[in-house]
Structure 1
Amino acid sequence: MTILALLLVLVYGLCLSFIFCYSLIQVHLTYLYLRCQATKHRPINPSLLLTPEELPRVTIQLPIYNERYVVERLIDAVAAFNYPANKLQIQVLDDSDDETVTLIAAKVAHYQAKGLDITHVKRPSRTGFKAGALQYGLTTATGEFIAIFDADFLPEPDFLHQTLRQFNHPRVGVVQTRWEHLNSHYSLLTKLQAFGLNAHFTIEQTGRSCGHFFINFNGTGGIWRKTCIQDAGGWQADTLTEDLDLSYRAQLRNWEFRYLEQVTAPAELPATMPAVKSQQFRWTKGAAETARKNLGKVLRSDQPLLTKVHAIFHLGNSSIFVCVFLSAVLSLPLLLIREHWTPYFYLFKSGSLFLISLVGLVLFYWTAYRQTSKNRSVSIFTFFPRFLWFLTFSLGLSLHNALAVLEGYLGIKTPFVRTPKFNLRTPADSWQNNAYQTASINLLTILEGLLALYFLAGIILAFYFRDYGLLPFYTMLMLGFGGVFFLTLKHSR
């Protein structure tokens, strides 16, 4: 029993140590972000402005799979780009097998009649999913640069002018822009997603860029130099995050990536829990797969030590869900052990790492929240409720995401599952009766419900032993797993 108890404490301490190191990395990125603010709003260098004659030929790729609700508005938005028609090619890479095909065909014919170079590209099979579609389109792409937009995006007409001026050096391979959210106020679920994504698209991307660390193309809302894609080995479908994979392969080939926080690409957030889960699964498992594929190459490269450290936590950031879930589940038996295992009480002091980590995360998300709020005088009193709900929401997804991460590290392959989009702009819009509504009530859903009860028991034990240190943690875990369980049931009807 003593050996088992010691083992549990050691695993618990290792998980908290990883969370602590992760929070230190986030604090460092926050520091880099704040340091870079002084240069962010400098006037545009006249040498970066392109004359009409200097504008390069651009291919816009629109990878589509069953997007009947949003595909028409995407094509309309791209067709409205204020860019010379004789230097623009649009590829609608359509893998759909529903009425989306007919909608695309009609739109393409409409803009072809207006003289636009737009093609409806249908592959023989959906091999390689999105990565396969992008690589297939690349073979007939005539542009020197390749802009990519997912189906739910609505780029501004001047998008190309704002991004292309950054390719002022032949080794600049990618320019990525910040995502904005068309429906962030649709529900509490979309508000919390926006809260988390805003931190990535401000602090993380800008901080990594300013620190000259590896950053990533986010799969959409950015533009590639075609020769960069080709030099890095092209799009490959052996991970679920083909964008992150190609980003690392390109940067290992010494291509430069630039991130533009001030240029935005609006898009739609998933509005149902099954849709959120499918997106989270793809992102977290794909990151683990990409780490499995590329992290060794990074560590063996001649990159600076600090760059390698940041790459470890960049590629391995989804592992945070494994550590959070294990530390949460183990905290209950450790609560019992602590009452009867006094000789090694000092080992439990590792729990203080969680509080220190929390302070770092508060600083990270507070900085992002202030930076992305339209009202720059936002109060800490409006931030903390949003932060606590976000933390609760993340805890509730920890089992789901931890399983995805483990599958990624173990090399278990699963197909690319798209995140359905419903064209929801206002709270009056409804996702119900949508053709892409997915049912996801399974064993995992049941386990999430049981975990809500498990942490309810933790609350009871905290009062029983009069040990209230983890009571807020247990409360958030109970609400998080209970909320994910409830919304999964509600949104799967």
Structure 2
Amino acid sequence: MTAFIILSLYGLAMLLIFCYNAMQLQLAYSYWKFKRKAKQTVVQVPTSTSALPIVTVQLPIYNEKYVVQRLIDAVAALDYPQHKLEIQVLDDSTDETIDLIAERVAYWQQQGVWISHVRRPNREGFKAGALAYGLTHNKGKLIAIFDADFVPPTHFLKATVGAFANADIGMVQTRWEHLNEDYSLMTQLQAFGLNAHFTVEQVGRNAQGHLINFNGTAGVWRKQCIEDAGGWQSDTLTEDLDLSYRAQLKGWKFKYLEEVGTPAELPVAMNALKTQQFRWTKGAAECARKNLWKVLGAADLNLSTKMHALFHLLNSSMFVLVVLVSVLSLPLLFIKNAFVEYTQVFIYFSFFLTGTVFLGVFYWVSTSVKGLSKQRRQKYFFMRFPLFLAMYTGLSLHNALAVVEGLLGKKTPFIRTPKFNITKQQDQPWKSNQYLKNNISLLTVLEGVFMVYFLVGVGVGIYLHEYGLLPFHLMLAFGFGYICFYSVWHSLVNPA
């Protein structure tokens, strides 16, 4: 009976992962088809200055002393008429960031820039609350938003505002680029994963007319769209995804501009990455809890759009399935060795391995954004894809716990990702960053236990001459070991 339960749970989890990978393959096909048929989108910018709309740029800030001046200087340099460019520095800081902002705001005001330092009485609602507060004081009908670690190019507004000539467009999102991709293996693997979202997923969904999301930054909203959708709400950790779905359910259309890149900084410390991953995965689960039934019940959405929305909102739940499959894979070795009557079942299970091929195609297609030659592209993909799978399976326990909290409705504060102002190895060491937490959690210990568990799986497989799961267990042992080691190391070397 126990063997049957384990096989059933394993088979169900594998089936759901396979379905998710099949959906990713469909998006890869959609992206490839769209890129073959369509030239890059060229947004027409009004030639007359008088025809340009007033744009409010909102910069939500909380204790960002390392990067805030870089951000303000970049936004102040945007190529847009000064009398139509309003900049709001929405400052919730409690440290010396306040003085740094005041100094740069005063400087740019003297240069004739329309910029204000906005402080509110409390930090209620966190980022969502700050954005909502800014909207009560702004002048622009279009709202551009940049997080503290972004450095928008000077042409950003002229490359995006033209899309709003279509009155149905409520939001325009641009592609994230990376200031420090080559800093370390960890940043390279983050960039590898993010590139897939900002090419295949966003273009693939948008080209088919499915629901896409604002990514929290490097995008422009129509103020009327925000208000019509119910405004910024702080009952999830991903207020961007939540508002995106509420707006599109109201009938607003979103546009994704892959050709407009906006550089940003990737986390270079493991615990900073974990903070970011926790917020993203838990927030996505909270948004699924809040919005999924509304999407499935929407009369004006077709079945295909609803299916894509289902997998989009629940994609963070894949981490729960990965943990389940991983943990059950070790007892599976004993079952396969001891119960010959289940031989046919294991043959069926092997079919699900094609899902890994689907996922590989998805990420292969995304590498086109690098513009590499065929030989260099192959080297880039085959060096990063296995390591990417290992690192993110190593994060699966951490992310799965975040997903469970989100689905169960457990509320936690919005904790922003520490920023570093690190773009190359020679920069000021991130290890002195005062915003990093210096602690080794129980979860980190469990990740070390999981590493040992899967090393045992390697040994059991060899002992039983069952080699089918050997690559999987090696990958899991490496992934959990990598995450555990750098979680400990980055805590020990950070004196904060």
TM range (shorter): over 0.9
Residue in structure 2 matching 1:359, options 353, 357, 360: 357
Partners of 2:155 and 2:390 lie apart in 1 by 39
Instruction: Write out aligned runs for 1:398-413 (5 A).
Output: 398-413=396-411
Q: Deviations over 1:436-458 (max 9, x none)?
A: 12224111000000000000000
The structural deviation recorded for 1:49 is 3.8
Residue aligning to 2:161: 164
1:382/1:114 CA distance change after superposition, 3 Å: closer
More off after superposition, 446-455 vs 345-354: 345-354
Name the aligned partner's letter for residue 354 of structure 2. Answer: I
Residue aligning to 2:484: 485
Name the aligned partner's letter for residue 419 of structure 1. Answer: T
Q: Deviations over 1:245-264 (max 9, x none)?
A: 00000000010000000001
Are positions 1:443 and 2:446 aligned together?
no
Are positions 1:265 and 2:246 aligned together?
no
The structural deviation recorded for 1:45 is 6.9
Name the aligned partner's letter for residue 473 of structure 2. Answer: Y
Residue aligning to 2:54: 57
Name the aligned partner's letter for residue 227 of structure 1. Answer: Q
Name the aligned partner's letter for residue 107 of structure 2. Answer: H
Residue aligning to 1:345: 343
Contact kept, 8 Å, 2:43 with 2:162, in 1: the verdict is no
Residue aligning to 1:236: 233
Partners of 1:315 and 1:43 lie apart in 2 by 27
Partners of 2:154 and 2:294 lie apart in 1 by 39
Partners of 1:440 and 1:7 lie apart in 2 by 38
Instruction: Write out aligned runs for 1:317-328 (5 A).
Output: 317-328=315-326
Name the aligned partner's letter for residue 492 of structure 1. Answer: S
Are positions 1:306 and 2:304 aligned together?
yes
SS of aligned partner of 2:182: coil
Residue aligning to 2:34: 36
Q: Deviations over 1:27-60 (max 9, x none)?
A: 10001101111354357476x5442110000100
SS of aligned partner of 2:163: coil
Residue aligning to 2:277: 280
Partners of 2:16 and 2:136 lie apart in 1 by 43
Partners of 1:198 and 1:43 lie apart in 2 by 18
The structural deviation recorded for 1:363 is 0.4
Are positions 1:470 and 2:469 aligned together?
yes
Name the aligned partner's letter for residue 458 of structure 2. Answer: I
Q: Deviations over 1:272-330 (max 9, x none)?
A: 10000000000000000000000000000021000000000000000111111100000
Name the aligned partner's letter for residue 29 of structure 1. Answer: L
The structural deviation recorded for 1:492 is 0.7
Partners of 2:455 and 2:442 lie apart in 1 by 20
CA RMSD of aligned residues (A): 1.3
Residue aligning to 2:327: 329
Residue aligning to 2:288: 291
SS of aligned partner of 2:50: coil
Partners of 2:41 and 2:160 lie apart in 1 by 15
SS of aligned partner of 1:399: helix
Residue aligning to 2:126: 129
The structural deviation recorded for 1:379 is 4.1
Residue aligning to 1:221: 218
The structural deviation recorded for 1:375 is 4.4
1:75/1:348 CA distance change after superposition, 3 Å: same
Contact kept, 8 Å, 1:59 with 1:145, in 2: the verdict is yes
Name the aligned partner's letter for residue 278 of structure 1. Answer: T
Percent identity reads 56
- Per the normalisation by structure 1, the TM-score is 0.97
Number of residue pairs matched by the alignment = 490
Partners of 1:396 and 1:406 lie apart in 2 by 17
Contact kept, 8 Å, 1:16 with 1:350, in 2: the verdict is no
Residue aligning to 1:90: 87
Are positions 1:200 and 2:197 aligned together?
yes
SS of aligned partner of 1:389: helix
Name the aligned partner's letter for residue 313 of structure 2. Answer: L
- Per the normalisation by structure 2, the TM-score is 0.97
Name the aligned partner's letter for residue 110 of structure 2. Answer: A
Partners of 2:193 and 2:235 lie apart in 1 by 27
Contact kept, 8 Å, 1:29 with 1:204, in 2: the verdict is yes
Partners of 2:395 and 2:226 lie apart in 1 by 34
Residue in structure 1 matching 2:390, options 382, 389, 392: 392
The structural deviation recorded for 1:378 is 2.4
The structural deviation recorded for 1:382 is 3.5
The structural deviation recorded for 1:113 is 1.6
The structural deviation recorded for 1:351 is 2.7
1:491/1:375 CA distance change after superposition, 3 Å: farther
Residue aligning to 1:432: 431
Partners of 1:381 and 1:92 lie apart in 2 by 43
Contact kept, 8 Å, 2:46 with 2:52, in 1: the verdict is no
The structural deviation recorded for 1:8 is 1.1
Long gaps (5+) in structure 2: none
Residue aligning to 2:140: 143
Long gaps (5+) in structure 1: none
Which runs of structure 1 show a deviation greater than 6 angstroms over 4 or more consecutive aligned residues?
Answer: none
SS of aligned partner of 1:436: coil
Are positions 1:245 and 2:229 aligned together?
no
Q: Deviations over 1:165-204 (max 9, x none)?
A: 1112111000000000000000000000000000000000
Contact kept, 8 Å, 1:396 with 1:480, in 2: the verdict is yes
1:275/1:354 CA distance change after superposition, 3 Å: farther
Residue aligning to 1:420: 418
The structural deviation recorded for 1:433 is 1.4
SS of aligned partner of 1:60: strand
Residue aligning to 2:152: 155
Partners of 2:377 and 2:415 lie apart in 1 by 39
Residue in structure 2 matching 1:315, options 306, 313, 316: 313
Residue aligning to 1:99: 96
Name the aligned partner's letter for residue 478 of structure 2. Answer: L
1:268/1:375 CA distance change after superposition, 3 Å: farther
Partners of 1:40 and 1:112 lie apart in 2 by 43
The structural deviation recorded for 1:381 is 3.6
